[in-house]
Amino acid sequence: MSRSSQAVSVKAKASTRLTLALNHDSDDALLVRTAWLYHVAGLNQEETAIRLGLHRSRVNRLLSEARERGLVSVTIHHDSARDVATEHTIAEAFGLDFCLSTPAIGFEPLDVTDAAAVRMQGLVARRAVGNAGANFLRGKLQNGPIKVGVSWGRTIEQVAQQLSGVRNPQAMFISLLGSLTRNSASNPFEVVQAFAARTGGEGHFLPVPFIADSESDRDVLLSQRSVAEAMALARSADLFLISAGELTETSFLRVQDMLSSAELQSIRSRGAVCDTLGRLFDADGREIRDPLSSRTLAVEPEGLRGRQVVLLAGGLEKVEAISGLLRAGLVKGLIVDGDTGLAIVQRLRHTSRAGRQLSDVVQP
């Protein structure tokens, strides 16, 4: 293929690719990320510019500055290089447009029986992802009118709490699912209103509960004109921010009493490792059909395939859940804390080694 043909191909892909829009990021962070993608990952300047949401001229200047400052030799001399390597490994493994990882803190492998440790590490991870997610969203909100579909949960709540320094009255934040029956800062209604208040934009929510009493009740609710219009608005979003539930006793569904312990065990026994938007998935990304899913009121995940979907998730207890959801092929971007990102990479390497060993065993 000629260089001109390659350039046309790159530009065509740019129109559908989910970019990071990091113009507002710190100079050092941009220097390292740009240098790593160009010199280590092997992207050309055009591809690097598309990946980071920058103009090509900016990429050229950043590469020149990286060389002048001595950042680039055989390796990249910066602590953030390990984070960029983690991001690249995850993005390549799961076919993502991007992965954004926060710096790792160095948590020890999680003992899931230690509830206090799980809560502490999860809180730190959610705050880190919330900060990175707010930074990512800030860049998107600087580009004029935008409709953002918003899931729920403690991580998305952190994004809303940490979003600051941006005003966009043309922004619309739309809940992707029904609300909880109890008041909570993680409730879709509260999260949407928090985003709207932070930006001066509009907040729209689904005027229904997340889980109906029966499938027939769900159908009745969805047939209401106000609900149908809200669902249509949610499906029309330009950007979708979703979370992943880990289906354990500490998960959001369990803590909010939307699942009993017996129901949770039943779902797990059928292979489910994660949930998003009321749907359940196994470790290979296959959807697990369950009566619970038929009673939930939310935008259908399969309708998001190929759209601008970003998964925000953090906490070592979510490694299996994140990996399973990424394999479902619904997500284009991932924002994750550094410790969880490293754990996902270790899991990928372990799976790769196990696969090679199995291949060696079955060969004649």
What pLDDT is attached to residue 3? 43
Q: How confident is the model at residue 307 (pLDDT cuts 50, 70, 90)?
A: very high
What pLDDT is attached to residue 24? 58
DSSP 17: S
Task: Report how far residue 125's alpha carbon sits from residue 325's, in angstroms, rounded to the nearest whole number.
Answer: 18
DSSP 136: H
Contact 52, 59 (CB under 8 A): yes
Q: Residue range 195-223: average pLDDT?
A: 93
Give percent of the chain above pLDDT 90: 53
Q: How confident is the model at residue 348 (pLDDT cuts 50, 70, 90)?
A: very high
Contact 328, 352 (CB under 8 A): no
Q: Residue range 195-224: average pLDDT?
A: 93
Q: Residue range 286-303: average pLDDT?
A: 90
Contact 336, 344 (CB under 8 A): yes
Mean pLDDT, the chain, rounded, equals 85
Burial class (CB in 10 A: 0-12, 13-18, 19+), 27: exposed
What pLDDT is attached to residue 80? 62
C-alpha separations of 195 from 135, 155, 188 in Å: 13, 13, 11
Q: How confident is the model at residue 364 (pLDDT cuts 50, 70, 90)?
A: very low
> pLDDT by residue (tens digit) across 28-84?
888 889 988 988 788 899 999 998 888 999 999 999 998 888 777 544 545 565 688
Burial class (CB in 10 A: 0-12, 13-18, 19+), 10: middle
What pLDDT is attached to residue 190? 86
**Containing H/E element for 174?**
strand 171-175
**Residues in CB range of 271: below 8 A, 6 or more apart:** 282, 283, 288
Q: Residue range 201-211: average pLDDT?
A: 91
Which CATH number fits the domain 85-352, given the four candidates 3.40.50.1360, 3.20.20.70, 3.10.310.10, 3.30.43.10?
3.40.50.1360
Extract the tokens encoding 322.
């994140």
What pLDDT is attached to residue 147? 98
Domains of the chain, residue spans: 20-78, 85-352
Contact 241, 310 (CB under 8 A): yes
Find out if CATH 1.10.10.10 is the number for domain 20-78.
yes
What pLDDT is attached to residue 360? 46
Does residue 359 have a pLDDT over 50?
no
Q: How confident is the model at residue 363 (pLDDT cuts 50, 70, 90)?
A: very low
What pLDDT is attached to residue 133? 95
Give percent of the chain above pLDDT 70: 84
> pLDDT by residue (tens digit) across 90-119?
999 999 999 999 988 888 766 656 777 777
Does residue 11 have a pLDDT over 80?
no
Please tell me the least confidently modeled range out of 21-35, 133-147, 237-251: 21-35
3-state helix, strand, coil in the chain (%, to 5): 50, 15, 35
Rounded to two decimals, the pTM is 0.78
Task: Report how far residue 34's alpha carbon sits from residue 348's, in angstroms, rounded to the nearest whole number.
Answer: 25
Task: Report how far residue 64's alpha carbon sits from residue 35's, in angstroms, rounded to the nearest whole number.
Answer: 9
Among 210, 163, 209, 152, CA closest to 186: 152
What pLDDT is attached to residue 106? 82
What pLDDT is attached to residue 314? 92
Q: Residue range 175-184: average pLDDT?
A: 75
Q: Residue range 223-244: average pLDDT?
A: 95
Q: How confident is the model at residue 8 (pLDDT cuts 50, 70, 90)?
A: very low
Does residue 258 have a pLDDT over 60?
yes
Among 360, 157, 335, CA closest to 252: 157
